[in-house]
Amino acid sequence: MTIIALLGNPNSGKTSIFNIITGSNQQVGNWPGVTVERKSGRYKKDKTITIQDLPGLYSLSPYSLEEQVTRDYLSLTPPDVLVNIIDSTNLERSLYLTLQLMEFGIPMVLALNMSDLVEREGKSIDLEKLSYRLGLPIVKTSAVKNRGLDELINLAKKIPKTQALDYDHRLEGALSEIAKVIHSNRRFDQIKCFEGDKLALSVLTEKQLLEIDDIVSISEKILNDDRESIIVNERYDLISQIVRLCVTESEGKSIKLT
Ligand code: BGO
């Protein structure tokens, strides 16, 4: 049995894709203890594959129940594969969630959805470069035209572990130190401790908290910013580099995925 989880920003086309690939093989309930809808289903062409639909979200800071549910699911009962559904017409915003998902190290594939709309918007996205730069396999999909979805699931079945991207070497140094303090190789945990995420810090001892405080204050001095902004800025800097490399705005109004 393989479990594939679908994740993406609201309106990225996640529900449309879920409905097409599962057909009528769906179960709807709630996530344990909360009134957040939980939908799962079997892939209609291979019943050994379970598709888990996760709530639409922009980030994994637990500000909302949806973010909390998703974060717990990825941390405690990780699926075999993540399919990150991207609205191709809004690449920059979508990649902000992608970078966070990559921190879990779960095998991941990107579905560049809304590919039918891309033609109309005057830019082109180089899929090969994007895939190379992110280190992730990418499939171009259109839920409304039912394109690329079988290819997406077939690819999802056989992808390796995901490697998160590196940030500024000074931040990387701090994250390695935090890894030693919290005894966790998972980048998501290290970054959450760096940011000062209450949930991540709540399980640590006084001694660990003091050590992390020391590491973070040094980084804040060196990088001349506060802990949360350091992470947000690193992510956006990386995303703008990637978008500059992979997206070409053309004079005329034609957007292409190549
Ligand atoms: C409406 N291409 C295009 N063009 N549209 C898509 C694609 C795609 O590949 N995928 C999804 N959509 P959800 P979340 C709508 O509902 O699956 C459209 O939140 C409308 N509704 O049809 O719900 C999809 O689950 C009236 O559009 O996304 C839907 O991630 C007018 O994107 C919307 C126009 O898809 C969100 C569109 C009453």
CB distance 50 to ligand 1 below 6 Å: no
User: What residue owns the CA closest to ligand 1's atom 1?
Assistant: 11
Atom of ligand 1 nearest to the CA of 16: 17
**E strand segments, 73-216:** 81-87, 108-113, 123-125, 138-140
Atom of ligand 1 nearest to the CA of 12: 30
Q: Which DSSP letter does residue 142 get?
A: B
Q: How high is the pLDDT of residue 249?
A: 73
Q: How high is the pLDDT of residue 237?
A: 95
CB distance 19 to ligand 1 below 6 Å: no
| Mean pLDDT of the residues in the chain | 92
Q: How confident is the model at residue 254 (pLDDT cuts 50, 70, 90)?
A: very low
Mutate to test the pocket of ligand 1, among 9, 118, 144 (most ligand atoms within 8 A of CB): 144
Structure tokens at 239: 């995303």
Could you read off the pLDDT of 105-145 as tens digits, one per residue? 999 999 999 998 987 777 789 999 999 999 999 999 999 99
Mutate to test the pocket of ligand 1, among 6, 11, 119 (most ligand atoms within 8 A of CB): 11
CB under 8 Å to 210, separation ≥6 — which residues?
A: none
Q: How confident is the model at residue 258 (pLDDT cuts 50, 70, 90)?
A: low
Reply yes or no on whether the pLDDT at 18 is more than 90.
Answer: yes
pTM, two decimals, is: 0.91
3-state secondary structure of 8: strand
Could you read off the pLDDT of 170-223 as tens digits, one per residue? 999 999 999 999 999 999 999 999 999 999 999 999 999 999 999 999 999 999
The ipTM assigned to this model is 0.97
Other Cβ atoms less than 10 A from the Cβ of 107: the count is 20
Cβ-defined contacts of 61-66 (< 8 Å, 24+)? 61/195, 61/197, 62/197, 62/199, 65/34, 65/35, 65/36, 66/36
